[in-house]
Amino acid sequence: MTEALAATSPPIATPAAAPVMQALSLDITGMTCAACAGRIERALARVPGVSDASVNLATEVAKVRFEGDGPGLDALVAAVDKAGYQAAPHRPRAALQAGQQAADRRAAWQVLAAALLSAPLVLPMLLAPLGIHAMLPGWWQFVLATPVQFVLGARFYVAGWRAALAGEGNMDLLVAIGTSAAWGLSVQQLLAHGDGHGAHLYFEGAAVVITLVMFGKWLEARARRRTTDAISALQSLRPDQALLRRDGQTVSVPLDAVFVGDELVVRPGERIPLDGLILEGETRVDESLITGESRLRERAPGDAVVGGAINGEALIVVRVSAVGAETVLARIIRLVEDAQSRKAPIQRLVDRVSRVFVPAVLVVAALTLLGWGLGTGEWSRAVLNAVAVLVIACPCALGLATPTAIMAGTGVAARHGILISDVQALETAHAVTLVAFDKTGTLTEGRPSLRACTPAPGFDGRQLLGLAARVQAGSEHPLARAVTQAAAAVGLAVAPAAAGVRALAGRGVCGEVDGQRVWIGSARLFTEAGVTDAGLQAAAQAHAAAGATVSLVGISPLAAEAPVQLIGLLAFGDAIRPGSARAIARLRALGIRTAMLSGDNRGAAEAVAGQLGVDEVRAELLPEQKSAVIAGWRAEGRVVAMVGDGVNDAPALAAADIGLAMASGTDVAMHTAGITLMRGEPGLVADAIAISRRTWTKIRQNLFWAFVYNLIGLPLAAMGHLDPVIAGGAMALSSVSVVGNALLLRRWRPLA
C-alpha cells in the first residue's frame, strides 16, 4: 500500500492538569426557556461555598464549581427546588435517553391534541369570508377551548407563576395572562348573553395561541436533543471492551476496568480503546478523528496513538497513557458540550422585553379598572375596558413574530438544500463576519487522485504506472484506487493483477509482475533496504512541500536478497471541489472574510488557499487548536461560522457562533453543526447566510409591528375607545400581518 513521505501526525496534546476547583453535576427538570437557566444559576450561586454555577439548557445539566468539600448535595437540590425547579444527581447520558424519548412523545401528543381541539374553533372563522356560516354554539366552544387552556396549557401557568415568584416576566407569563383574559371574557359574555348573538367570544384566540406556542416549545425541545445526538455519536467511537494483557494472558474487559500503565492488545481493523504508546508491532493508523485526513499514518514502537483511531493491518500492543476524562476523545466531547450551552440571542431579547412588558400591561389594566370605576362608578364598563387592555396585549403577534419567520425561513432553505436543525443558527448566521473552512472534504473532494508519475532516468512513465496499477489492482485503499483509475484513464491494462501481493506493515506493498518483484511504498521502505533515490529526492521533496502524498516505486529480480532499483515516484493530491472558488468569491461579495483551518501540512493548506483566494490560513492544527483559534477570533469581536465535515471538526463547529456541516461528512459533524449543506456544495454557505439575513429582517419587522399594535392599542383601550370586540379584532389583525409578512420569505431564491 502507498504511504506519504511526511506522514507524521501532529503531537497529541498532553492532558491538562486536574483543576484545583472541584465540580458537581446535577440533572435539572422543569426548565422551559433561557430565563429559567439564568434563574437556577443565580439560585445555585447564592449557596454558601459555591464559586461558580452554570446551567446548560441544551443538556439540562447544571455544573457547580467549588473549592474543598464545598456545599452538600442536599443544599444544592434545596436551592434549585426553592427556585421552582427539580434537581437530582447527574446520571449517565444513556440512562436519561429513554426518559427524554418518552417526554418527546408525550409533548408531541399534547401538541396534536391541542391542534385537534382548536381546529373546530378556527375553521368557521376561515370559512366565514366564503359565505359559509358554521360557527359553533358558545357552550361547545367553551367545551373545546377549556381543556386546551387549563389542561394542555397548564405548563404556561406553572412556568409563569415561577417567573412571577422570582419577580421576573417571561413569555410563559405573557401567554398565561393574555389567553386567560380572552378565555375569561368569553366566559363572562357567554354567561351574560348565553348563545345569543350578543355574546362576543374569544375562545378560538386563546386556544390557538396556546397551541402555537406549545408547538414552538416542542420544536425547541427537539432542537435541544441535538446535543445528545452529537455526544452519542462521539462516544460511539470508543469501544466498550478492550483486550487486556496481564500476566501473559489476554482477556476482554470493560473499558472502565483499564488503568494507566495497562497493556492492551489491538487487532487489525479494531478501534484503539484508549490513548497510549505502542510497545510492540508496526502498523498504520487511521487518525482522521484527530487530523481530518483520510490517509493512514505509520506507527511503530514508541509512537503515540489516540483512542478511537482505527488500527491498520498489524496487531499491536499499546501501553495506556490516559483513561476516562483525560483522553483526547473525552476532551473533544467536553468541548462540544461546553460550546453548545450558549443561549439564543433572540430569546434573550424577548425575555428582556417580557420582563418590562408584563408588569407594564398589568399596571395599565389595573389603572384602567380603578380609573373608570372610581371616576364614573360604572364598574361593569371599567371591567370591560380593563379586559380590553389585557386582550389587546395578549402576546399573539409577539409570540408569532419569531417562530413564523423561522419556520418560513427553514422551509425555504430546505427546498434549496440547506437543512437548518437549530434555530439559533438561523438567528445568528445573519451577523457572520468570518467563515472558516476545513480543507479536506470541504473545500476539496476528500478523494485523492494521482497528480504526478515521475520515472527515474532510463525508465518510461507508462511502464511505471502500469506496474504500479497491476500491484494495486486488488486493493481498496484510496491511493491504490487513484493509481488504478489513472492507469485506466490512459488506457493501461491492470490485468493480470500482480501475484503474491503482500502488505509490508507500516511501509508499503509488493507483488510479482512479469517475472520481477515490484515494490511500492514510503521512503522508509527503500531507505531501510539501502536503496538510493536515483535522482528522485528533489522531486519527492517538491511534491511533499506542495502537500502531496509521495510513494516510491522499485523493482528487483525474484531471487532472494536481490537488489532493488528505484524506477520512479507517484505523487497524489486531493482535488479542489468545483464550486469552492465561486463559494469564496460569493462570501467576499457579501462582505465576509474567509479562513482555512486544517490538520494537514502547511504546504498543502497554503496551496489550496492560494488557488481559492482564502484570506487567512491556519495549518497543522489539532481539534483543540482549531476551537482555540475560533475562540480567539470571537474574542476579537468577530462572528464566526465554521464549515467542516469530519469528527475532528466537531469541537470547532460547536465553538463557532454557527456550525455548517457538509452532508457528505460524518454524523458527528452534522449533529454538532446547526446547519447541514445537503448537496455538499461550499456555495450553499453563502446561500445559508443570505436566507438568515432575510429571515432576521422579517423577525425584526414582525417584532416592530407586534409592538406598534400594542403601543397604539393599549392607550386606546385604556381610554375606553376600544371595546373588547375591537380589541380582539386588532389582536387578530396583528397576528395576520405578522404571519403574512413571514410567508413572504417563501419567495426567496438563492444568490445568482
Identity at 522, one-letter amino acid code: S
Sequence length of the chain is 752
Q: 320 has which bridge partners?
A: 276
Cβ burial 717-748 (10 Å sphere, 16+ → b, else e): bbebebbbbbbbebbbebbebbbebbeebeeb
Residue 713 φ/ψ region, left for φ over 0, alpha for ψ in the -120 to 50 degree band, beta for the rest: alpha
DSSP state, residue 152 = I
C-alpha torsion 272→275→277→279, nearest 10: -40
* Secondary structure E strands in 615-657: 616-618, 640-644
Provide the sign of the torsion angle of the four alpha carbons 128, 134, 135, 141, taken in this order.
negative
Cell numbers for 204: 378560538
**156 vs 149: CA distance, rounded Å:** 9
Other residues' Cβ atoms within 10 Å of the Cβ of residue 422: 23
Place of cell 536515483: 534
Of residues 387, 396, 392, 378, the one with CA closest to residue 726: 392
Place of cell 358558545: 138
Identity at 57, one-letter amino acid code: L
Order across the sheet with 297-299: list the strands.
297-299, 283-286, 310-311
CA 690 distance to own-chain centroid: 19
Residue 207 φ/ψ region, left for φ over 0, alpha for ψ in the -120 to 50 degree band, beta for the rest: alpha
Catalytic residue among 438, 574, 645, 687: 438
Q: 303 an active-site residue?
A: no
Provide the sign of the torsion angle of the four alpha carbons 475, 476, 478, 484, taken in this order.
positive
**569 vs 575: CA distance, rounded Å:** 19
CA 16 distance to own-chain centroid: 25
Q: 502 has which bridge partners?
A: 510
**3 vs 295: CA distance, rounded Å:** 8
Other residues' Cβ atoms within 10 Å of the Cβ of residue 33: 23
DSSP state, residue 443 = I
**306 vs 276: CA distance, rounded Å:** 7
**Which residues are known catalytic residues?**
438
